């Protein structure tokens, strides 16, 4: 071998060595890069936090969410004169048959637009102005049994103007068109005063106004069993308009004072109008419905996130959103199959085996069961089905369930994951000791058995889902992000509560206090 050959071989070896070193350097760099990716980056260069945001935004796009369920709707301001009149009527005990209850008795803004009770105590309470825990039925009250008198949980009045199909747990008040964004204003509305599927000619302009016509006709809620006992719905409404208007001869006590006419003249812009012309039940509920429709509380952290603020909700809430929206096969809980859209409800009816407590609606062997939507339709598929609630402000609007059987949001979430296990492990300590629950297990088991039959038939929406405690906490964090901070801020919510600067036309304003005697 010549020197030149040796030199050539040495050069080749040197070149190969250099190439090997370069290759090793590339491998090392690649491994280092991979290690960095494993510490918080993904293959597309996003951090775990950024990827989480992108995943949630992909879901938002897929679901066509805007974050704002009030968008495009014609909703009144609380400053509207009719809303102001409605607020005063809403807080007046003049609308109670025996003048011991008001609309606000079961729907106070400080209490989430409800009453913070599993089941309400309407008429004949021990203390008429005490709302929430500590409110009890008087021993001298009609049908006293020590427990609450109203058989279903008081639904929130918040965002009442955002419903388009049905109101009440069983949907007994229903828009016949269900047009999105209209709140029932574009067609007939079926009410308990009309046959199923038929429009009530006196329902009013929208679902909120139609709803306001009925609490005053319920003996347990407002009508009572005294002067108005034995009267029909039409007579009750006529008596109330005469009482508030100061005309006619309605039964029962007269108002301590009456300055309502000038209030109606101002609200309806009719300074020369008479009491008989202006103080009608139709105008009363129009004002109340306007007040209720002004209770728009949708400025949630979730809305801010959907609109572009990546930091508006926590990482836990973002993970919870994926659990909420994704189906079970994708690792989610499929909550959005029923709690859909920006308002988080399909406005439909489902049996999810919710615990049945309280007096019931006269159904079942002992009359203390509640067959839900079936009571309206007579359709076996609707047995034990109740309206899907909106989840906007859900953390502030408990207790939860048609009978308020769950007093923590975690408990109601876990019920959805496995209703049978939830019944078997029900925490009785969450119930007030006076609540009627002697047949709770039997009645609830009947609902769950009906649910299981629907599952077998392939018609049930609710699936059993296994989530870890961490996943449940993430889901709860997401649900908490659906609450408008205003509803938990007394100063913010005060716009919907009359104060000393507001006129008190009949001296019957319900000035609510809690069980400690503190004003709400």
| pLDDT at residue 44, as a whole number | 81
Residue 411's CATH number: 1.10.760.10
**Is the bond preceding 399 in cis, omega lying within 30 degrees of 0?**
yes
**What string of DSSP letters covers 302-322?**
HHHHHTT-TTSS-HHHHHHHH
- Is residue 17 situated within a structural domain? no
3-state secondary structure of 325: helix
Residues 122, 136, single domain; the answer is: yes
Whether residue 74 lies inside any domain: the answer is no
Q: Among candidates 459, 474, 162, 504, which has minimal Cα distance to 317?
A: 474
Tell me, yes or no, whether 243 and 138 share the same domain: yes
Shared domain check, 211 and 115: yes
Residues 293 and 343 in one domain: no
CB under 8 Å to 51, separation ≥6 — which residues? 42, 44
4 assigned to some structural domain: no
> Do 186 and 232 lie in a common domain?
yes
The answer to the question of residue 230 being in a domain is: yes
Exposure letters 416-438 (e unless 16+ CB within 10 A, then b) = bbbbbebbeebeeeebbeebbbe
Contact 211, 167 (CB under 8 A): yes
∠ CA 152-89-494, nearest 5°, is: 85
- Nearest 10 degrees: Cα torsion 284, 290, 292, 295: -150
* Residue 308 placed within a domain: yes
Answer whether 121's CB lies under 8 Å from 131's CB: no
Q: Does residue 384 fall inside a structural domain?
A: yes
> By the 8 A CB rule, do 356 and 118 touch?
no
Can you give the pLDDT at residue 43? 55
Give burial (CB, 10 Å; 0-12/13-18/19+) of 44. Answer: exposed
Task: State whether 243 and 318 are in the same domain.
Answer: no
DSSP classification of residue 399: S
Beta pairing class for 166-167 and 173-175: antiparallel
What is the rounded distance in angstroms from the CA atom of residue 130 to the CA atom of residue 127? 5
Is position 69 within any domain?
no
If asked whether residues 292 and 340 sit together in one domain, one would say: no
Domain hosting 134: range is 81-297+488-496
Give the pTM.
0.91
Mark whether 92 and 129 lie in a shared domain. yes
Residue 314 and residue 202 in one domain: no
Considering the domain architecture, whether residues 289 and 305 belong to the same structural domain is answered as no
- C-alpha 89/C-alpha 172 separation (Å) is 24
Domain count, the chain: 2
Residue 30 is assigned to a structural domain of this protein: no
Mean pLDDT of successive 10-residue stretches along the chain, which has 520 residues? 36 38 38 35 79 98 99 98 99 98 99 99 99 98 98 99 99 98 98 98 99 99 97 98 97 96 99 99 99 99 99 99 98 98 99 99 98 99 99 99 99 99 99 98 99 98 98 99 99 98 98 98
Token pair of 222, please? 């407002």
Query: Which helix (H) or strand (E) is 167 found in, with range?
Result: strand 166-167
Q: Which among 258, 254, 251, 253 is positioned nearest to 275, based on CA atoms?
A: 258
Distance CA 394, CA 153 (A): 14
pLDDT for the residue 477: 99
291/439 same-domain check: no
CA dihedral 172→177→180→185, nearest 10 degrees, is: -80
Q: Would you call 480 exposed, middle or buried from its count of C-beta atoms within 10 A (0-12, 13-18, 19+)?
A: buried
Tell me: do 123 and 246 sit in the same domain.
yes
Give long-range contacts, CB 8 A cutoff, 24+ apart: 344-347: 344/69, 344/390, 344/391, 344/392, 344/482, 345/387, 345/388, 345/389, 345/390, 345/391, 346/388, 347/163, 347/164, 347/165, 347/166, 347/178, 347/387, 347/388
Cα distances (angstroms) measured from residue 239 to each of 104, 105, 162, 194, 282: 20, 20, 31, 21, 13
**DSSP count for the chain of H helices, then E strands:** 16, 5
Count CB-CB contacts under 10 A for residue 212.
27
């Amino acid at each position: 071998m010549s020197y030149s050959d040796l030199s050539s071989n040495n050069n080749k070896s040197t070149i190969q060595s250099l190439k090997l070193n370069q290759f090793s350097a590339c491998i090392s760099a690649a491994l280092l890069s991979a290690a960095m990716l494993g510490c918080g980056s993904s293959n597309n260069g996003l951090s775990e936090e950024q990827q989480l945001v992108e995943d949630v935004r992909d879901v938002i796009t897929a679901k066509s969410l805007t974050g704002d369920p009030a968008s495009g709707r014609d909703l009144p301001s609380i400053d509207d004169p009719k809303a102001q009149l409605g607020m005063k009527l809403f807080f007046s005990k003049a609308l109670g048959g025996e003048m011991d209850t008001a609309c606000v008795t079961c729907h106070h803004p400080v209490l989430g637009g409800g009453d913070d009770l599993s089941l309400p105590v309407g008429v004949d309470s021990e203390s008429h102005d005490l709302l929430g825990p500590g409110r009890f039925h008087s021993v001298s009250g009609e049908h006293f049994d020590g427990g609450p008198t109203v058989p279903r949980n008081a639904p929130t009045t918040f965002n009442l103007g955002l419903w388009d199909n049905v109101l009440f747990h069983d949907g007994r008040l229903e828009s016949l068109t269900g047009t999105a964004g209209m709140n029932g204003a574009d067609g007939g509305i079926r009410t308990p005063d009309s046959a199923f599927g038929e429009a009530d000619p006196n329902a009013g302009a929208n679902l909120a106004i139609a709803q306001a016509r009925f609490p005053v006709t319920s003996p347990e809620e407002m009508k009572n069993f005294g002067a108005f006992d034995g009267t029909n719905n039409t007579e009750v409404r006529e008596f109330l308009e005469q009482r508030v208007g100061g005309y006619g001869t309605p039964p029962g006590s007269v108002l301590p004072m009456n300055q309502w006419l000038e209030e109606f003249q101002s609200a309806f812009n009719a300074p020369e109008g008479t009491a008989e012309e202006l103080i009608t039940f139709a105008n009363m509920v129009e004002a109340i419905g306007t007040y209720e429709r002004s209770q728009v509380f949708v400025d949630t952290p979730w809305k801010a996130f959907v609109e572009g603020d990546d930091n508006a909700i926590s990482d836990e809430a973002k993970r919870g959103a994926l659990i909420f929206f994704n189906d079970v096969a994708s690792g989610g809980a499929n909550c959005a199959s029923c709690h859909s859209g920006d308002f988080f409800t399909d406005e439909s009816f489902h049996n999810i085996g919710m615990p049945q407590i309280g007096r019931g609606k006269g159904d079942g062997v002992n009359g203390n069961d509640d067959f839900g939507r079936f009571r309206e339709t007579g359709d076996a598929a609707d047995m034990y089905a109740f309206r899907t609630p909106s989840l906007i402000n859900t953390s502030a609007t408990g207790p939860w369930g048609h009978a308020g059987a769950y007093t923590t949001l975690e408990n109601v979430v876990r019920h959805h994951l496995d209703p049978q296990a939830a019944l078997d492990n029900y925490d009785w300590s969450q119930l007030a000791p006076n609540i009627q629950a002697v047949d709770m297990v039997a009645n609830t088991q009947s609902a769950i058995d009906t649910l299981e039959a629907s599952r077998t038939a392939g018609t049930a929406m609710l699936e059993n889902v296994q989530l870890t405690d961490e996943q449940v906490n993430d889901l709860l964090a997401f649900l908490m992000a659906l609450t408008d901070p205003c509803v938990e801020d007394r100063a913010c919510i005060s716009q919907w509560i009359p104060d000393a600067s507001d006129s008190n036309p009949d001296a019957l304003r319900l000035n609510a206090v809690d069980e400690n005697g503190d004003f709400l």
